[in-house]
Amino acid sequence: MSYCLNPTCQNPQNPGDAEFCQSCGSKLWLTDDRTPSASRYRIVRPIGQGGFGRTFLAVDETKPLIFSQCVIKQSFPQNTAAEKAAQLFHQEAVQLETLGKHPQIPELLAHFETDGRQYLVQEFIDGKNLAQELAQKGAFTETQIRQILNDLLPVLHFVHKSKVIHRDIKPENIIRRRLSAAPLPALENSLQPPLFQKDIVLVDFGASKKVTVTGLPQTGTIIGSAAYTAPEQLMGKAVFASDIYSLGVTCIHLLTHIPPFDLFDSTENSWAWRNYLKTAVSDDFGRILDTMLQSATNRRYSAASAVLRQLNPKPVYLEAKPVLNEPETPAERVPALPIAPPIFTREEQAQIQEALQDAIGPFNVTIQVNQAKQKLNIVINRTAENPVYYPHLCQIISTRLTDLQLNKVVAVKLLGRVNNSRVPEWKQVLQIDPKIKLRNKLVLQHSKLVKQIAPVTTKDFWLPKLQTKRFWIDSLMFAIVWFVFGSQIVIFNAWCALIVASGFIAVKHQVSQNKEFANNNLFASLVVLFLMAGGMGNSRILNTGVFGVLLGCLVVAMPLFFVKENYQ
């Protein structure tokens, strides 16, 4: 099918092979008058319309079918602001010349004017926008929103570094594309460029604004979608933080599936988005969104990088300087050192590998862990058909290593390989923060102790014991010894009586474990001692010196005299 570009055409749909509109007679093929033979665009269907123009899906008939689809924006103001529309259209074209080089921003393919109208030809992004996803699948989860922010904030950082404010961030202008496995070229002046396409793409820079040299907010056109627009932008004074605000509104709309206007409590002059959540979000994430939604710019995040730092706190394992592939010179060689014993057993190493494999299992890669001295070597192996973004995997692995509390490790070397190739395609070194190494060790020891005593806190441990005669006799013995020493005989203080009683039970337990024991005779002896001490009334035998300590030790050792072989 071919679609007529004439705004006044009553029946714009035409057969695919037609060259002129059957309704109004307008030419259906769109060409650049400057280079008539370069490209011939056939309009397929309209996909959007705004105040300054219309957007169409089109095909470039001069290109192979797989690369032919594109998006064409036609300048078509619906009011008298034709001059302003032309200015914005030209401004968008100029900005997309630079911004379109980013892999998560549509590339500008052509910009020309014909028949008195301006046209922008852009890369076609195959996928659905977040508004369509919301309508089809319902409210997003915190995990999904975090992933969207992690993918989109670097794009926004790039846009702001290019001195451009988008001014129209909303779910309709964020598209999740269907990923392809083709690698993308690295961006210039990027410290850590992505190796492969990400699925989130920021589109529609028709409302964007170039920041002046002074960087001060200047009053301009009030533009953007009102429900997502920051207060200062509504007054025509948009700043970089205005995009942060719009992104925050987008997030709470996706989390709640409630229109933004209904999420704002005008009586309290604050956002009430938590009241509409389908699933609660974590406190730290909620604070991040609240900061993005602050009305005053001095209380809001001023840059996308600031949001990213809050969203991804630096893990214990910190990135070190990059690994350099430089040849080793003779002067750099050092004598071989004796082989150090491994820091982990094979079983422990297997457990670490299994934990890391579970952490990055959804990415369809395999993990291999090796150890050398106090270092771990972790190999991430992928297939040629499965592209991955290694920095993201590095973040996941570093966080998981922190959770494992591997205090013996001082550094971790990460390698990315394709089909177990000998030459890695990616390298990174992580180092543990020395300030928390001792704390890690203490936490690890504490965790082992907790693991050992954990069964004592369960009913499965106590129920079988409560059903045995021995348990109750031991309890009575403990109570008798505690009473005799705590009430009738004073050894320093009452806490010492508790220690004596506990020591008595411990010795009895050890003796009865290894030898046949006259339990009844011991119990009878303690009852006699109890009756004798109780017969003294309120009078106490004062033994606070060395004699009292010896008396307490004698009682603790009493079970040793009731081994059955002593009575045969």
Active site residues: 168
Distance CA 416, CA 366 (A): 10
Tokens of 541: 């035998």
Q: Which whole-number Å values give the CA distances from 333 to 64, 325, 336, 526, in the listed order?
A: 55, 15, 9, 75
User: Which sign does the torsion angle of CA 105, 106, 108, 113 carry?
Assistant: negative
Q: Are 195 and 212 in contact (CB under 8 A)?
A: no
Q: What is the CA radius of gyration of the chain?
A: 37
| Residue 465: Cβ within 10 Å count | 12
| DSSP string covering 98-125 | HHTTSTTSPPEEEEEEETTEEEEEEE--
**C-alpha to C-alpha distances, 354 to 375, 377, 378, 406, nearest whole angstrom:** 18, 14, 12, 15
Beta-strand pair 40-49/29-31: antiparallel
- Is residue 382 helix, strand or coil? strand
Long-range (24+ apart) CB contacts under 8 A made by 187-194 are 187/101, 187/102, 187/103, 187/158, 188/101, 192/391, 194/103, 194/389, 194/391
Could you give the strand order of the β-sheet that contains 117-123, starting from the edge strand earlier in sequence?
29-31, 40-49, 53-60, 69-75, 117-123, 108-114
300, 302, 305, 310: CA torsion to nearest 10: -20
What is the distance between the alpha carbons of residues 220 and 204, in angstroms, rounded to a whole number?
Answer: 19
Q: Cβ neighbours of residue 489 under 8 Å, at least 6 residues apart?
A: 533, 540, 541, 543, 548, 551
Long-range contacts of 235-240 (CB under 8 A, 24+ apart): 238/165, 238/167, 238/209, 239/165, 239/297, 240/160, 240/165, 240/211, 240/302, 240/303
Q: Which two tokens stand for residue 117?
A: 């109208």
**DSSP assignment string, 462-523:** HHHHHTSHHHHHHHHHHHHHHHIIIIIEESSSHHHHHHHHHHHHHHHHHHHHHS-B-HHHHH
Amino acid 239 reads V
> In this structure, are residues 358 and 167 in contact, taking their beta carbons and an 8 Å threshold?
no
How many CB atoms lie under 10 A from the CB of residue 12? 21
**Cα 306 from chain centroid?**
15
